Amino acid sequence: MQTVSVGIINVTGYIGAELARLLSQHPGVHLASITGRSAAGQKLGQFFPFLSHIPLVIESELGEVDFAFSALPHGAAAEIVAKALEREIKVVDLSADFRLKDATEYQRWYKITHPVPELLDEAVYGLPEINRQEISQARLVANPGCYSTGAILALAPAVKANLVTSNIIIDSKSGVSGAGRTLSLTTHFAEANENVSAYALEGHRHLPEIVQELQNLTQDFNPKVTFLPHLTPMTRGILSSCYAELAPRINPKRLKEEIKGIYQEFYQDDPFIQVTDSPPGTKQTWGSNFCLIYPTVDVEAGRLIVISCLDNLVKGGAGQAVQNFNLMMGFPEDMGLKMPAIYP
């Protein structure tokens, strides 16, 4: 099999390390270059002993590759990505720098002026279950946020079928790895252990991309979304509980009987979506690229309830980026990603 020469920009965070783990066993990948300026000159196995099977030295600049994954934080990624594109390197960017189509919205939520707004129209939002065809033709894909992935996948079939009104509530709970590898008081063991806390009540940065993508699913749909994330004392995983009022024309009892079939039909060609028979838990996705979805109807309240869960570092991050890579390079979508969840 012909392989693609691939680089990881900023391998030193959790997402970068997860990319290295996944790409090292991908049959279509030759991992040729990894960067991380703070660790430049070190062997990858010295920095991350669990990756000692990868015989690469961390560099300060990206080497000669055909494809790059950028795991830089927002604000730092855009200009580096633009330079890679100038070198005719295809890119999946895992920051937020290319997710929002409106540069004004980007500035509002991220408090900086976008460095290369001319690339926003070209970038494809990298949710394969929604934008598969566009991703396959793209040279720049914006990998979705972890919370956004679970929420959009939970709600997309209902929104697309006009089953719900615009009033939506998303309650999400994430493991501490979602905060990244940088030390902080809130993710300190003594603070996070045996504790669940809400945050970003004034608005989380993943909210505008959730709204943007739900809005794009159907005409004249202007979602009013309340999104509330929580930090939970686990390493990996996101569980989202999504609630939406049913459209006035919908019969709740009938929909309760039909909703699982509606979701199964919507996702019938998607290898990493499982519509479950009972509410899933995050342990069922740990280490895998699957998103598990359980839809039901509260008949008394006339409300759709959808539970989704995924591993925030895999389907919510590096795994989805590899899924996008596969589509962009013409590989089978599930190549290198067929691993089941780890249990217990």
What is residue 37's predicted lDDT score, i.e. its pLDDT? 87
Question: What are the distances in angstroms from CA 155 to CA 11, 236, 308, 339?
Answer: 32, 22, 9, 26
E-strand ranges in the chain read 4-9, 29-34, 67-70, 90-93, 124-125, 140-142, 164-174, 197-198, 224-231, 238-246, 273-275, 291-298, 303-310
Taking the C-alpha atoms of residue 256 and residue 279, their distance in angstroms, rounded to an integer, is 15
- Of the candidates 146, 242, 291, 309, the residue annotated as catalytic is 146
Contact 141, 324 (CB under 8 A): yes
147-311 topology per CATH = Dihydrodipicolinate Reductase; domain 2 (3.30.360)
What is residue 6's predicted lDDT score, i.e. its pLDDT? 98
Q: Where are the domains of the chain?
A: 4-144+316-329, 147-311
What is residue 265's predicted lDDT score, i.e. its pLDDT? 98
Percentages helix, strand, coil for the chain, rounded to the nearest 5? 35, 25, 45
4-144+316-329 topology per CATH = Rossmann fold (3.40.50)
Confirm whether 146 is a catalytic residue. yes
Q: Pull the structure tokens for residue 196.
A: 């669940």
What is residue 183's predicted lDDT score, i.e. its pLDDT? 86
Contact 69, 89 (CB under 8 A): no
pTM of this structure:
0.97
Percent over 90 (pLDDT), the chain? 98
Please name the amino acid found at residue 112: I
Contact 316, 290 (CB under 8 A): no
What is residue 79's predicted lDDT score, i.e. its pLDDT? 97
What is residue 1's predicted lDDT score, i.e. its pLDDT? 78
Low-confidence ranges of the chain (pLDDT < 70): none
